[in-house]
Chains A and B, each alone.
Chain A
Amino acid sequence: MEQALAQAGIHLEDAAGIVATGYGRMNSAYTDKQFSEISCHAKGIAHLLPNARTIIDIGGQDAKAIRLDDRGMVQQFAMNDKCAAGTGRFLEVMARVMETSLSELQEWDNKARTVAHVSSTCTVFAESEVISLLSAGTPKADIIAGVHKSVASKAGSLVLRIGLQEDVVMSGGVAQNRGVVKAMEAELKVPVQVAPNPQIVGALGAALFAYEAQMKKQK
């Protein structure tokens, strides 16, 4: 918290209201209110890209698909179960298996000639599949493209649950990986935009909630 305040160049007393979101939102001592990350992502995206109707938010722990109405309100959402498949954590595990880093995944994806088949249902199985692919001599770039496809197909099934509507926007840290975005477009067969600074959209939404509450109070 102190670090965040220092970076913004403000003091705690300067903040008229504080809203927390994300896992751990219940444990924050500073906050006036807390909202779930689904509501906050929706708020953030509706502010940044008002035409968005479907949000795919893939973070480190989970993946979500959110449908917005034309007022930018959440109409429906679907969330992955406890399994790590299709989340940022899945990409981390795969990057480790392939001895590369998360940030290099998209460069590798660019070099892929074909997309290797990687199971989308289970992190543990996918890991051993990747190891078999590596030992069979499949190029690393193709495997990484396969890993991205696997994440996209998992998130794609969440989108199917809520019903696909354009514009489709990705948020969350994983959206920074162009490889996943490309795979998502191939999966859904529609263009997928990436929110500006996708990893802070939830925080932006929380700030907007705090701002609105403040405006209401002043009225």
Chain B
Amino acid sequence: MSKMQSILEKLAINPVQAVEDYKKKTGKGAVGCIAPYTPEEIIHAAGMLPIGLWGGQVELNKVRAVLPAFACSIMQSIKELELSGSYDILTAVLCPSSCDTLKAIGQKWTRKDVPMIQFVHPHNRKLPAARTFLAKEYQHVRERLENVIGEPIPDEAIVQSIQVYNEHRAVMREFARAAGAHPDLIDPKTRHLVFKSAFFMRKEEHTALVRELTALLDEAPVKPWDGPKIILSGIMAEPDSILDVMKELHIAVVADDLAQESRQNRVDVPEDGTVMERLAEQWQNMYGCSLAYEHEKTRVPMLVDMVKKNQADAVVVAMMKFCDPEEFDYPMIKQTMEKENIPLLQVEIDQQMQSVEQFRTRMQSFVEMLRHE
């Protein structure tokens, strides 16, 4: 087996196994982090395993009674998994209130043995008061967690965890760059799995594996790629079957602006201030995301820059079905891409998607169109 293959195998995703193994090894539990942004550093500092909850391909039954059909597809699956007890192996769950659907999810939590800790990201992010407010919210999260585990989470431990996370972010940004240069070695699904595996591992372990992987990529010769190069933008690009279609169509994902992938690593936690203030300031510094309100909408010019910098042929917006924050951004993206002459395709993301044929038709037509450009 090649070295790269063996690293990728170590990154393979098995959430239940990961939680059980971690409990066995450390005697500590796992805390679920509902997408998209949670202060994972606090969980990490408590010696627990933060697990990213991003839904999955489950059949929707129980959720029909609690969420309307027009709630986004990721929250439909998260709620279904919750109601069917899949999250009962977790010690607690953190949930941000970034959008209306997330607010509802936190309020409708039913598992009595798995406490739900909800917090609010302020929308007027740039005000000094936003930092004070969010620092208090995070402090509240910390205290609730301390209650659950029955131990304090010291400042020094959080400072260390911040360092671990900043290092991880930097390594992931490097991986994204290297993967973009080597689509012959890292196909769209593999690229996605490298990002996703970070949600089921302690970050220091993930950092070590991805650093090794990136080094191998950097050693490999850069080969010319004759397929279309795209930038993926949106909340997430799942189920995996759509990435398989991209591979079949010889598409390279040269960079991404997905909440589940590169947005996680876009902004580091700054150095100055108390630990809670530092974590809060990271949210103030976030940019280019539909969930982090900004008057000037930097996401749009950011996407144009990404196209130029990565010599991409097009932008593909993976539009989470019924996600209003993303839908609000789309018209601006579309207008600008037209003005800039950058081909743009919108595809709908539905985690419950059974057949990829419609997706294939769209994607293939787009690729055929690009070939004529």
Q: Is A48 an interface residue when CB atoms closer than 8 A count as contact?
A: no
Q: Is A210 an interface residue when CB atoms closer than 8 A count as contact?
A: no
**A38 close to B358 (CB less than 8 A):** no
For B369, the chain A residues whose CB sits under 8 A away are: 38-39, 73-77
- Complexed CA–CA distance, A69 and B348 (Å): 26
- Complexed CA–CA distance, A22 and B255 (Å): 31
Q: Is B112 an interface residue when CB atoms closer than 8 A count as contact?
A: no
Interface centre among A39, A73, A81 (most CB of B within 10 A): A39
- Complexed CA–CA distance, A202 and B348 (Å): 24
**A37 close to B361 (CB less than 8 A):** yes
Given the known interface contacts A73-B372, A81-B348, the answer about A36 and B358 at a Cβ–Cβ threshold of 8 Å is no
For A74, the chain B residues whose CB sits under 8 A away are: 365, 368-369, 372
From residue 337 to 358 of chain B, which have CB atoms closer than 8 A to chain A? Answer: 348, 357-358
- Complexed CA–CA distance, A130 and B361 (Å): 32
For A62, the chain B residues whose CB sits under 8 A away are: 358
- Complexed CA–CA distance, A38 and B360 (Å): 11
- Complexed CA–CA distance, A141 and B27 (Å): 73
- Neighbour of A36 across the interface among B348, B364, B372, CB < 8 A: B364
**A23 close to B357 (CB less than 8 A):** yes
Interface centre among B348, B357, B362, B365 (most CB of A within 10 A): B365
- Complexed CA–CA distance, A76 and B358 (Å): 17
**B364 close to A79 (CB less than 8 A):** no
CB distance from A205 to the nearest CB of B (A): 11
- Neighbour of B361 across the interface among A73, A79, A81, CB < 8 A: A79
- Complexed CA–CA distance, A36 and B361 (Å): 6
Residue of chain A at shortest CB distance from B357: A23
Residue of chain B at shortest CB distance from A23: B357
- Complexed CA–CA distance, A76 and B361 (Å): 14
Residue of chain A at shortest CB distance from B350: A82
Residue of chain A at shortest CB distance from B358: A82
Residue of chain B at shortest CB distance from A41: B365
For B364, the chain A residues whose CB sits under 8 A away are: 35-36, 39
Q: Is A10 an interface residue when CB atoms closer than 8 A count as contact?
A: no
Question: Which 9 pairs, one residue from A and one from B, show the smallest C-beta to C-beta distance?
Answer: A38-B365, A36-B365, A36-B364, A39-B368, A74-B369, A73-B372, A36-B361, A23-B357, A39-B365
Further contacts, 9 of them, CB under 8 A, given A23-B361, A79-B358? A36-B360, A36-B364, A38-B361, A38-B365, A38-B368, A39-B369, A73-B372, A74-B368, A74-B372
